[in-house]
Amino acid sequence: MVLKKRLLFLPSIKKMNEFHRKRAEIDRAVISEVKKGRGVIYGGKALNEHLPPFLDRHTEDYDVFVKNPEQKARRLERRLDRKFGADLFAVVSAQHEGTFKVKNRVTEGTIADFTRTERKIPSVRRRGVMFASLPFIESGLRKELRSKSAEYRHARDRDALNRIAVMKSLKKRKRRRAEEFFPIPTRLGW
């Protein structure tokens, strides 16, 4: 009897399949809204943008700094609902003040987090999208590691810092190796 009640509240297989088939469209819609709203992507997606592909970690949601997060979240939700032809997305106020989540009602997963920011975020433009700079991400990770209230994130943050360190060591090694083959001229000549 309990099993039957549970099955009534599960999303239909058809809706789940449609959602997963259109995942790329969701990503394009989020990127488009970030470009229009002059937002800056930070968090896991930004870190993956800076790191080589073999150091990437899978992340589903986008974390975005914008000046008016509720408006941007509602606009993205309406756009995704139109694209899917049904009311499959919702905007929810997050735990932190000034943050709004766009959630999928089918999978209960978060699509994007829009957070208010008043200050200028150091960023880098890649493929027309603004991503938080690597030093900004690194300083945020170090700050989280010092925080006692964020202990549940410490393993993930240490992993991210280790991936950044690996990338930096690879860049140094690559630079040294290039200098062996192509000596850099000095004032005294070669």
CATH number at residue 159: 3.30.460.60
184 in a structural domain:
no
179 in a structural domain:
no
Three-class secondary structure of residue 65 per DSSP: strand
Q: Could you tell me the residue range of the domain that residue 29 belongs to? A: 24-170
**Bigger pLDDT: 140 vs 180:** 140
- Residue 181 pLDDT greater than 60, yes or no: no
- Residue 183 pLDDT greater than 80, yes or no: no
Looking at residues 99-112, what average pLDDT do you find? 88
15 in a structural domain:
no
Do the beta carbons of residue 40 and residue 121 sit within 8 Å?
Answer: yes
CA angle 119, 137, 121 (to 5 degrees): 20
Do the beta carbons of residue 121 and residue 136 sit within 8 Å?
Answer: yes
105 in a structural domain:
yes
* Per-residue model confidence (pLDDT) at position 72: 92
35 in a structural domain:
yes
What's CA 56's distance to the chain center, in Å? 12
Tokens of 144: 């989280």
* Per-residue model confidence (pLDDT) at position 105: 83
**What length is written for the chain?**
190
Termini Cα distance of the chain: 83
Q: Rounded distance, CA 79 to CA 45, Å?
A: 21
Looking at residues 18-27, what average pLDDT do you find? 79
- Residue 10 pLDDT greater than 80, yes or no: no
Counting the structural domains of the chain, the total is 1
188 in a structural domain:
no
180 in a structural domain:
no
Q: Rounded distance, CA 24 to CA 26, Å?
A: 5
* Per-residue model confidence (pLDDT) at position 180: 59
111 in a structural domain:
yes
What are the φ and ψ backbone dihedral angles of 61, each rounded to 5 degrees?
Answer: -100, 160
